[in-house]
Amino acid sequence: MSIPLERVALRAMVDNGFQPEPPASARRELAALPDTPRDGVRDLRQLRWSSIDNVTSKDLDQIEVAESMPDGAIRLRIGIADVDALVPKGSAIDAHAAENSTSVYTGISVFPMLPDALSTDRTSLLEGGERIVVVTELEIGTDGAIRRHDLYRAIAVNHAKLDYESVGAWLEGHGPQPDTIAADDSLEAQLWLQDRAAGLLKRLRERAGVLDLDTVEATPVARDGVIESLRVSRKNRARDLIEDFMIAANGAVARFLAAAGRSAIRRVVREPRRWDRIAEIAASYGIHLPAAPDGKALADFLAARRAADPLRFPDLSLSVVKLLGPGEYVLDRPGPADDIGHFGLAAPDYTHATAPNRRYADLVTQRLVKAAIAGAPAPYSDDELDAIARHCTERENAANKVERLARKSAAAMLLERRVGATFDAIVTGVKRDATYVRLLSPPAEGRVVRGESGMDVGERVRVRLVRTDAERGFIDFEGI
């Protein structure tokens, strides 16, 4: 029986403590918002800024532009939407954003953290629009090292909204040049320079031991309310380019705030608690990992497996991601005493600062940065930052539950006529009272309700589909 997935997603939002609609006070504020003030900002409208995002994305947070330097280095500017300029701390819109803390993307519905009139218009870096941005400027040496960074506010224009799929295929040499790029030689040169900058940044991180993972993201494809398939989005060169830039910008912001002696919110991934299982998986491929967590050793193992078996590498990546555990937000005070790094990125200094339209932690960090730039007092106390960090972590986990349920509901609709069929799968989670698997095709995840004894994360198994319930997002299997 077909059910409206929008209804499932909305119910999941409410059940997980989200407020899908802003209150009346926020709507009144929205109707009376003034123009964004431009005092004290640099004029960088003449630079050839562009963005790369999903085809359908309208909540654009970042734009980029690169410039060659005489000694072969590259000056990279990353402009982040100045959301704080229209969403001041303590406003009703801010309070609603703080409560939800994140936009939620279910594949069928989007529940934005900020009202659409902001996130997809006035605070979005839409093509052709003049916007205030907070710029992270980086000088990248020929060895990939960031030899200088600076942060400041500017006015800029996104001259070209590009998308991951077409730009990625073109950069990789197996797709045509996108029309927007073909019509503008300066934009083509700009993107090749950005690609070179991203490559330099990536190689330096690889030497530090960053984990290069490749997981499958499945999005439901529906027609007239009927799920026809699960579309898989995979990494490509354009996605890597933006990821490399965002990682560099987030690290630079963390270092900027630390150098200014400011408390901040850090994004951390602690050393994996299930390192022993990661070592077991590596041993099954004939690779010995150290007894204690070692990011560089794990990175070398993953690189070798990607080269040896690229087709199955996403399955290995999924196992490692599950065993690494989730990221979290934490308070970071000035000084090294409480520093915690990001294990997966091999980054000792890391925050979230590049998506203030979508994540509240990024909006808070933007306010901290703007105060430091202006030499103004910090807008938050340490106790406030600690409470915000904990709440953002909790809301992120809740958003993941909503998104998981929406994906599973869509997959249940797709699989409801295949009860009794058998599938190849990979074990994605083992808890005290539940074991979960993800099918290799279609990439649907469900629970093993019988025959799960002895299964562990990363194992390939054969399962039979025994029940689906799209309303509740249940997909039940038995082990064979």
Neighbours of 337 (CB within 10 A): 7
Q: What is the arithmetic mean of pLDDT over 258-281?
A: 95
Residue 3 — very low, low, confident or very high, per pLDDT cuts 50/70/90? low
Residue 89 and residue 157 in one domain? yes
CA-angle at 335, arms to 332 and 340, nearest 5°: 45
CA-angle at 383, arms to 343 and 257, nearest 5°: 55
Residue 325 Ramachandran class (φ > 0 left, ψ -120 to 50 alpha, else beta): left
Residue 393 and residue 475 in one domain? no
Model pLDDT, residue 87 = 97
pLDDT of 336 over the 90 cut: no
Where do the H-state alpha helices sit in 325-381? 360-374
Residue 81 and residue 222 in one domain? yes
Model pLDDT, residue 225 = 63
Cis peptide before 442 (omega within 30 of 0): yes
Residue 313 covered by a domain: yes
Model pLDDT, residue 220 = 75
Q: What is the arithmetic mean of pLDDT over 63-85?
A: 97
Please identify which residue in the block is written with the tokens 């953002």: 392
pLDDT of 317 over the 70 cut: yes
Where do the H-state alpha helices sit in 260-339? 275-284, 295-308, 313-324
pLDDT of 295 over the 50 cut: yes
Residue 282 and residue 253 in one domain? no
The predicted-structure confidence for 391-410, as pLDDT tens digits, reads as follows: 999 999 999 999 999 989 99
Residue 337 — very low, low, confident or very high, per pLDDT cuts 50/70/90? low
Residue 245 and residue 96 in one domain? yes
Last residue of a domain, one of 390, 409, 428: 409
Model pLDDT, residue 416 = 92
Residue 264 — very low, low, confident or very high, per pLDDT cuts 50/70/90? very high
Residue 201 covered by a domain: yes
Residue 285 to residue 54: CA distance in whole angstroms: 36
- Check residues 104 and 35 and name the one with the higher pLDDT: 104
Residue 279 and residue 400 in one domain? no
pLDDT of 425 over the 60 cut: yes
Q: What is the arithmetic mean of pLDDT over 223-250?
A: 86
Residue 450 covered by a domain: yes
Residue 191 covered by a domain: yes
Question: How many domains is the chain partitioned into structurally?
Answer: 3
Residue 414 covered by a domain: no
Residue 108 and residue 248 in one domain? yes
Residue 282 Ramachandran class (φ > 0 left, ψ -120 to 50 alpha, else beta): alpha
One-letter identity of residue 165:
E
Residue 138 and residue 242 in one domain? yes
Burial 152-191 (b: 16+ CB within 10 A, else e): bbbbbbbbbbbbbbbbbbbbeeeeeebebbeebeebbebb
Residue 367 to residue 365: CA distance in whole angstroms: 5
Residue 186 and residue 319 in one domain? no
Residue 336 covered by a domain: yes
Angle separating helix axes 237-259 and 360-374, nearest 10 degrees: 50
> Is the whole model's pTM more than 0.85, yes or no?
yes
Residue 259 and residue 286 in one domain? no
pLDDT of 138 over the 90 cut: yes
* Residue from 194, 197, 20, 46 nearest 116 by CA: 20
pLDDT of 1 over the 60 cut: no
pLDDT of 270 over the 60 cut: yes
pLDDT of 477 over the 70 cut: yes
The predicted-structure confidence for 339-391, as pLDDT tens digits, reads as follows: 788 999 988 899 999 999 999 999 999 999 999 999 999 999 999 999 999 99
The predicted-structure confidence for 191-202, as pLDDT tens digits, reads as follows: 999 999 999 999
Residue 392 to residue 386: CA distance in whole angstroms: 10
Q: What is the arithmetic mean of pLDDT over 302-324?
A: 90
| CB of 352 closer than 8 Å to CB of 265 | yes
One-letter identity of residue 56:
T
Burial class of residue 56 (count of CB atoms within 10 Å of its CB; 0-12, 13-18, 19+):
exposed
Model pLDDT, residue 2 = 57
Residue 178 and residue 279 in one domain? no
Last residue of a domain, one of 384, 409, 434: 409
| Radius of gyration (C-alpha) of the chain in whole angstroms | 23
- Identify the bridge partners of residue 329 per DSSP, sorted by sequence position: 267
What is the full DSSP assignment across 20-51? -S--HHHHHHHHT--PPP-TT-EE-TTS--BE
Residue 293 covered by a domain: yes
What is the full DSSP assignment across 221-259? EEETTEEEEEEEE---HHHHHHHHHHHHHHHHHHHHHHH
* Residue from 61, 102, 50 nearest 83 by CA: 61
Cα-Cα-Cα-Cα torsion 15, 112, 58, 360, nearest 10 degrees, comes to -120
Residue 221 and residue 253 in one domain? yes
Quote the domain boundaries for residue 317.
275-324
